[in-house]
Amino acid sequence: MLQMGRRGFVGRLLGLSGGLMAVPAAARAEETDFLPPSVPPWSREQGAGVVSPPYGVPSPFESAVVRKPREKPLFPTAASTGTPLQALHGIVTPNGLHYERHHAGVPAIDPDRHRLMVHGLVERPLIFTLDELMRFPSVSRLHFLECAGNTPQWQKIDPLWTAQDSHGLLSCAEWTGVRLGDVLGEAGMLPAASWLIAEGADAALLTRSIPLARALEDGILAYAQNGERLRPEQGYPLRLLLPGFEGNVNIKWLRRLKLVEGPMESREETSKYTDLLPGGRARQFAFTMEVKSVITTPSGGQALGPPGFHEIRGLAWSGRGRIQAVEVSTDGGASWQAAQLQEPVLSKCLTRFRLPWHWDGGPARLMSRATDETGANQPTRDRLIELRGANGRYHYNAIQSWQVASGGTVSNAG
Amino acid sequence: MPGEAYLCLAILLAGVTPAFAGERYDLGRPASAAEVAGWDIDVAPDGKGLPPGSGSVAQGRAVFAEICGACHGLQGEKGDGKPIDPLAGGQDSLGGAKPLRTVGSYWPYATTLFDYIRRAMPFSAPGSLSADQTYAAVAYILYLNQIVPENATLDAASLPLVRMPNRNGFVPAPE
């Protein structure tokens, strides 16, 4: 099994209670008092009552599983934090751990005072309350969201990076909302409309232009995430959700949709989120997040326990549809084995993969490469940089490697 | 009668069709022109959406001294991209080993500058600049990039005519 450290139960208890109360009897106990044949104290007394707290939170023993920025941001309201992928299981990201990327902080929006305006090339400009939007037929779908800037390994590889640092601008949730087409249809789309401008209500009034036909394919206006209303960091009370698209166009705190003939060339789609190519030209409107994968266990910053059986676990996803296959290498790409995919394998959604592995205790280089249902697969980092240069900042989807040292420590090999 | 038969069929279908194909849910209320005008601050590349007003390079220098310079520097020189970008310089650097992406070297449309400043700047008080101040800041940044002369004044008519050096620098990504 993987070990994050060598803290015992007693050490953890001391760490939690230190300074807050008199040292409890349990803390004076020996570690063996908790283990068979002894019976630990929690088996001999009542635990906490119901509603403590009313909205449940993770065990205090999981306090290290949190979002964090890669480095301390100069402007905390214009920054990002990553999801701790290496500590999570399955495919659903807990709402409190969904990655963040804000351009003007998280606005505190009163939903009763929030409005969605639909205008431009429509028959009837309309304004909706949240209550009105929630009366439209609802849909729920599981989809990943990934920031276009995830995995910035174009220029350098930091051996200390964890999966949270390298791939953490990635999360997955069950989103519930209304079909974009239903709401636009209510206003009546005019034939000349071919682009959609979406704008947020945050102080950045973040704005993107999207080809209307693509947005209508499966776009939704989401008001809920994993069974509860959106978290403020995810756009409460309303966000645009365009499955498979780069995170930035999934406008949070959505306040306005405008149908137009052509893109508005906003700052976010010109000076940012464009891929500078060799020669000096740049790719624009690269909306789709291409096929990608990462091994989350074992991954950077972790340490393997004793040699023997270890399960390699990871995540694969594609903005073009379902994951068809994931291959894993433990020898730096010399040989590959097919990983098992956990059902359900859903379109534009995280897919969990696994491969049983017998670690002999020596050095190993772990890699994963995914193929999606269109046949697209991941390039090597060298190939990606050959194609796109090293000065792009977005849409990195190369094969990721983790180096296992002979002692079992794992570091980022890019 | 065929007509009556079609009518009956239509009524039958309407009764069993869950989706309101082609029909409305009758939700929402009309947005007035004044309501739309209050929120629709988009500026298009052809200048559509630009408000009345004007600003000169000299006025922009004053706006920078008072407001923008604290973060951007009086010459727009501050920042390393995390998150502040230098506003000027870098022209002809994009194809090299160390490209410098600035308004002058990278941005394809001058209208974007007005749109972005109006919606998101200054960082400490977004949306607080007047239209004149915004035109002035735009003029000054373009002057810093040697795109407009020092005596330039910009308004809704002249700003869309400004030709950015990297206007043809972008190619659409394949779908």
**pLDDT, tens digit, 9 for 90 and up, residues A74-107:** 999 999 999 999 999 999 999 999 999 999 999 9
Environment class of residue A303 by beta-carbon count within 10 Å: exposed (0-12), middle (13-18) or buried (19+)? middle
- A165 min Cα distance to partner chain B (Å): 16
> Does A292-412 carry CATH code 2.60.40.650?
yes
- CA count, 13 A, side-chain hemisphere, A297: 23
Q: Under an 8 A CB cutoff, do A264 and B39 touch?
A: no
Q: Does the structure show a pLDDT above 80 at A6?
A: no
Q: Under an 8 A CB cutoff, do A126 and B30 touch?
A: yes
Q: Name every chain B residue with its beta carbon within 8 A of the beta carbon of A289.
A: none
Query: Residue A207 pairs with which residues in a beta bridge?
Result: A199
* Residue A20: per-residue pLDDT: 42
Residue with token string 């939903």: A111
- CA atoms of A126 and A180, how far apart (whole Å): 14
- CA atoms of B10 and B56, how far apart (whole Å): 64
* Residue B80: per-residue pLDDT: 84
Interface test with B, best of A205, A245, A255, A261 (most B CBs within 10 A): A205
* Residue A28: per-residue pLDDT: 65
Provide the pairing of β-strand A275-276 with A207-211: unpaired
Q: Under an 8 A CB cutoff, do B170 and A117 touch?
A: no
Q: Does the structure show a pLDDT above 50 at A19?
A: no
Q: Which tens digit of pLDDT belongs to each residue from A154-194?
A: 999 999 999 999 999 999 999 999 999 999 999 999 999 99
Contact criterion met (CB below 8 Å) for A149 and A393: yes
User: What DSSP letter does each residue of B127-167 carry, written as one string?
Assistant: T-S-HHHHHHHHHHHHHHTTSS-TT-EEETTTGGGPBPTTT
What is the domain partition of chain B in residue ranges?
A: 42-161
Confidence of residue A283 (pLDDT cuts 50, 70, 90): very high
- CA atoms of A99 and A101, how far apart (whole Å): 7
Q: Under an 8 A CB cutoff, do B109 and A265 touch?
A: yes
What is the domain partition of chain A in residue ranges?
A: 101-161+170-281, 292-412
Q: Does the structure show a pLDDT above 80 at A25?
A: no
DSSP helix/strand/coil, A121: coil
Confidence of residue B39 (pLDDT cuts 50, 70, 90): very high
Interface test with A, best of B17, B35, B36 (most A CBs within 10 A): B36
Two tokens at B90? 């870098």
Two tokens at A17? 């209670």
Let me know if the fold of A101-161+170-281 is the same as that of A292-412.
no
Contacts of A234 (CB under 8 A, 6+ apart): A95, A98, A225, A252
* Residue A30: per-residue pLDDT: 84
Alpha-carbon dihedral sign for residues A206, A211, A214, A215: positive
Q: Does the structure show a pLDDT above 80 at A69?
A: yes
Q: Which tens digit of pLDDT belongs to each residue from A103-149?
A: 999 999 999 999 999 999 999 999 999 999 999 999 999 999 999 99
Q: Under an 8 A CB cutoff, do B171 and A126 touch?
A: no
Environment class of residue A278 by beta-carbon count within 10 Å: exposed (0-12), middle (13-18) or buried (19+)? middle
Which residue did the predictor score with more confidence, B109 or A16? B109
Which residue, A193, A191, A190, A196, is CA-closest to A210?
A: A196
CATH class belonging to B42-161: mainly alpha
Which residue, A121, A127, A252, is CA-closest to B36?
A: A127
- CA atoms of A350 and A346, how far apart (whole Å): 8
- CA atoms of A204 and A77, how far apart (whole Å): 10
For domain A101-161+170-281, the CATH architecture is Alpha-Beta Complex (3.90)
